[in-house]
Structure 1
Amino acid sequence: MIELSRRGLLAGMGATALLAACSNGVGSDGGAQIDARVDATQAFLEERYPGTRDLAARSAGVLYMPLITEAGFGIGGAYGRGALRIQGATVDYYSATKASIGFQIGAQQYAHALFFTTPQALEEFRRSPGWAASADIRYATPDQGASIGKETTELDPVVALVFGQQGLIAGATLSGVKYTRIIP
């Protein structure tokens, strides 16, 4: 008979929990959960900011990140999951991560959408092992949301709309955010 000590039992339970947390999600309903959140985010954007409907229709693809949670106390970080849609259909799932250091304290949540206005920008995003938000992004503010579709040209390969901020950290930007393809 095999005897199990309390320490062995706890170690086994810990290893099982770690494996479950690190699983690739095959067979889980993570994709359905992300899609439901993305559907709600897309509907909110199109209702609240009608110009985004036009912009999405003219874009090669749109990455919707329904909820990013950011917190910091000297050292900070952010995380969220979303879906890339091409012609309205989900083609991939992505996580967004961000780490920061400096004077910061508080927490906030927000959503954002990246509109890839050119096929080249979308292809570069999809081919990279971990795409980082950089200088080629044009930020649009929510108050521009009504007219954003008319203002955007092919000179802006990626248009980012950050919206729905709630919390105590001032300002939400995508600088330093890294996007990585995931299997939910």
Structure 2
Amino acid sequence: MKLSTPSPQIAPLLGFRLIACLVLVLSSTLSGCQSTGGSQGDSHANAAQIDREVDAALNKLYQTTPSARTLAAKARGILVFPNVIKAGFIGGAEYGKGAMRKGGRTAGYYNIVAGSYGLQAGVQSFGYAMFFMNDEAIASLNSAKGLEVGVGPSVVVLDEGLAKKATTTTLRDDVYAFVFGQQGLMAGLGIQGSKITRINP
């Protein structure tokens, strides 16, 4: 029996549908679908779980990257996604939940979602921390449309070497980000195009 291949017009549509399915699967894996219809007790439990995971992720980042603690002292807020899952097969998607910390306290909860189309395969997880250096950048995050990385405030991804060179006079960008705790097999951890939106867990 001869198998037909999708037409050029249909193939991209199938890819985008696959991305949507991957996002749904990942969101189910990471504590289920978002819902505001659950009980108040469930909501508090979900928020508490995110807070615990954020605490653990920050401690891990500070232990492995001491310069991140120095940066935290200058930041107006720190948005932490403890466990972002990235999966791909032809189409790719990533998803995670996290919390914004101001003065050591949670100021809101957020999710991060991204999709891509192209040849890629694998699954990996990583932590993602964003240090917001001014109130304008935080305001962009809390806008009705959310924050798309690469659009609006400038976001600079730091490694340990760059972080050590950062000083008060060189820290002039809006947001500095660390990607840490990578596990799994997939090339590329680009964060451009990721969409961050406020949620009510």
Q: Partner of 1:11 in structure 2?
A: none
The number of equivalent residue pairs is 164
Q: Partner of 1:23 in structure 2?
A: 35
**1:169 is aligned to 2:186:** yes
Q: Is the 8 A contact 1:74 1:104 kept in 2?
A: yes
Structure 2 gaps, min length 5: 1-31
Cα drift, residue 97 of structure 1: 0.6
In 1, the alpha carbon distance for the partners of 2:53 and 2:166 equals 23
Deviations 1:111-170 (A, max 9, x none): 11010111211122122432111161111124545x265377442111111111111111
Q: Is the 8 A contact 2:141 2:197 kept in 1?
A: no
Q: Partner of 2:50 in structure 1?
A: 34
TM-score by length of 2: 0.75
Cα drift, residue 49 of structure 1: 1.1
Q: Which segment drifts farther, 147-156 or 50-59?
A: 147-156
Identity of aligned residues (%): 38
Q: Partner of 1:77 in structure 2?
A: 93
In 1, the alpha carbon distance for the partners of 2:81 and 2:64 equals 16
Cα drift, residue 88 of structure 1: 1.1
Cα drift, residue 171 of structure 1: 2.1
Letter of the 2:159 counterpart: T
Q: Is the 8 A contact 2:140 2:146 kept in 1?
A: no
Letter of the 1:94 counterpart: Y
In 1, the alpha carbon distance for the partners of 2:62 and 2:54 equals 12
Q: Is the 8 A contact 1:53 1:149 kept in 2?
A: no
SS of the equivalent of 1:120 reads helix
Deviations 1:45-79 (A, max 9, x none): 11211111111111110100000001011111111
Which 4+ runs in 1 deviate beyond 3 A?
142-145, 148-154
In 1, the alpha carbon distance for the partners of 2:165 and 2:82 equals 19
Cα drift, residue 86 of structure 1: 0.9
Question: Quick one: structure 1 residues 177 and 148, their matched pair in 2 at CA, closer, same or farther if it must change by over 3 Å?
Answer: farther
Taking the TM superposition and a 5 Å limit, the aligned residue runs for 1:68-147 are 68-134=84-150, 136-145=154-163, 147=164
Question: Quick one: structure 1 residues 119 and 153, their matched pair in 2 at CA, closer, same or farther if it must change by over 3 Å?
Answer: farther
SS of the equivalent of 1:127 reads coil
Question: Quick one: structure 1 residues 128 and 156, their matched pair in 2 at CA, closer, same or farther if it must change by over 3 Å?
Answer: farther
Question: Quick one: structure 1 residues 79 and 23, their matched pair in 2 at CA, closer, same or farther if it must change by over 3 Å?
Answer: same
SS of the equivalent of 1:75 reads strand
